[in-house]
Amino acid sequence: MATKTQISGFIGQIAPILQREAKTREYKVVSPAIAQALQESLSGKSASGISQLAEKYHNYHGMKCGQYWLSQGRPSISLKTGEEYKVGVITQITDYFRVFPDLESGLKGYYDFLSMSRYASVKNAATPEAYMQAIKSAGYCTSSTYVQNCLSKINQYNLTQYDTIVTGSRPTLRMGSRGADVTYLQQNLTAKGYGLGTIDGIFGIKTLEAVRAFQADNGLAVDGIVGAKTWKALQ
């Protein structure tokens, strides 16, 4: 299992490349792509904590070959893997996976993989939840817990912080605001020690109090409104 230091280092390596590719290709969020790489790659038993497929073959998202890849004579490797064709039952199979020459090619390869028509809805997903549901519906994986596992990693490692590079500046938030941006705000406040109790995407009284406390501690106007200056201090 990878250590916290190894996980942090891995995120630091892959996030900038995935951010750049997501923005260039006009995806709305990148945090799910980072979470998928964590889910697929951090299962190795080596000293690095990285899987063989990721460490040796630079396939960080568990992408299988498919007939097109094989017909083109492109590099591949045959490996054992577990598939959950029936909920709760893991079937061990051997399949062919894509092979890439280096880190950057492997991460670009993820977005090349998503360029297939069946993944068109993923590009339009505006939230991590919608992105992961679209991935699952398009048949990316067979695991019945894949979506939840990836979303848990987004929360655990505060991966939505990387979405700002893709989506641009955050909107102004205030009492009564709701949605993914409020969730991101709450995650950031919690990570910095301003506990809210529940992260629910609703800008209520506890979120207001946490925002005011953060503003006071950071020399900002204590108005409870999360504008450009408060966002900058948080990030």
* pLDDT tens per residue across all 235 residues of the chain: 788 888 988 998 998 899 999 989 999 899 999 999 999 998 756 667 889 999 999 999 999 998 889 999 999 999 999 999 999 999 999 999 999 999 999 999 999 999 999 999 999 898 899 999 999 999 999 999 999 999 999 999 989 878 876 666 677 899 999 887 888 888 889 888 998 888 888 999 999 999 999 999 999 999 999 988 898 888 6
Q: What is the largest CA-CA distance in the chain?
A: 62
- Dihedral sign, Cα of residue 8, residue 10, residue 12, residue 14: negative
- DSSP helix/strand/coil, 23: helix
* Bridge partners for 173 per DSSP: 226
CB contact set of 100 (below 8 Å; sequence gap of 6+): 57, 58, 59, 75, 106, 109
Q: Domain-by-domain residue ranges, the chain?
A: 4-158, 180-234
Q: Give the number of other Cβ atoms within 10 Å of residue 109's Cβ.
A: 20
- Residue type, position 30, single letter: V
Contact between residue 83 and residue 90 where contact means Cβ atoms under 8 Å apart:
yes
The kind and range of the H/E element at 176 are none
CATH code at 4-158: 1.10.530.10
Angle in degrees, 0-180, between the axes of helices 205-217 and 180-191, rounded to the nearest 10:
50
Could you tell me the pTM of the whole model? Answer: 0.72
How many whole angstroms separate alpha carbon 27 and alpha carbon 138?
A: 17
